[in-house]
């Protein structure tokens, strides 16, 4: 029984670590997708950029806000931009 419990815990921890790693990879790759033709990819890129607080990110988001035609994504980008600017200032 103790062996089975250890295997269950090891499987759970391994799955959690793998999930975290894959999520991080997807978000990192999404930065390139900010100007993609696919709205979901742009959404993921915004999610990734939300965690970055530097002047380059703020400039990129300013360009994106001017470019974006989808109202929902544009509003999200504006909120993220305000947060990035507040952390940079």
**Structure tokens of 54?**
């530097």
Question: Residue 29: its pLDDT value, please?
Answer: 65
Question: Helix (H, G, I), strand (E, B), or coil: what is residue 82?
Answer: helix
pLDDT in tens, 1-32: 578 888 888 888 888 888 777 777 766 666 67
Cα dihedral: 25, 34, 57, 23 (round 10): -20
Q: Domain spans of the chain?
A: 2-88
Identify the residue with better confidence: 84 or 30: 84
The string of pLDDT tens digits covering residues 62-81 is 999 999 999 999 999 999 99
Q: Using 50, 70 and 90 to split pLDDT, how confident is the model at 58? A: very high
Give the whole-angstrom CA distance, residue 31 versus residue 46: 8
How much is the pTM?
A: 0.67
**pLDDT of amino acid 19:** 78
């Amino acid at each position: 029984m103790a062996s089975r419990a250890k295997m269950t815990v090891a499987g759970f921890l391994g799955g959690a670590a793998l999930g975290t790693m894959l999520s991080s990879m997807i978000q990192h790759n999404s930065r390139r997708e900010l100007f993609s033709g696919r709205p979901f990819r742009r959404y993921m890129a915004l999610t990734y950029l939300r965690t970055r607080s530097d002047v380059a990110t703020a400039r990129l988001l300013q360009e994106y806000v001017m470019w974006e035609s989808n109202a929902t994504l544009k509003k999200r980008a504006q909120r993220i931009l305000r947060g990035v600017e507040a952390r940079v200032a």
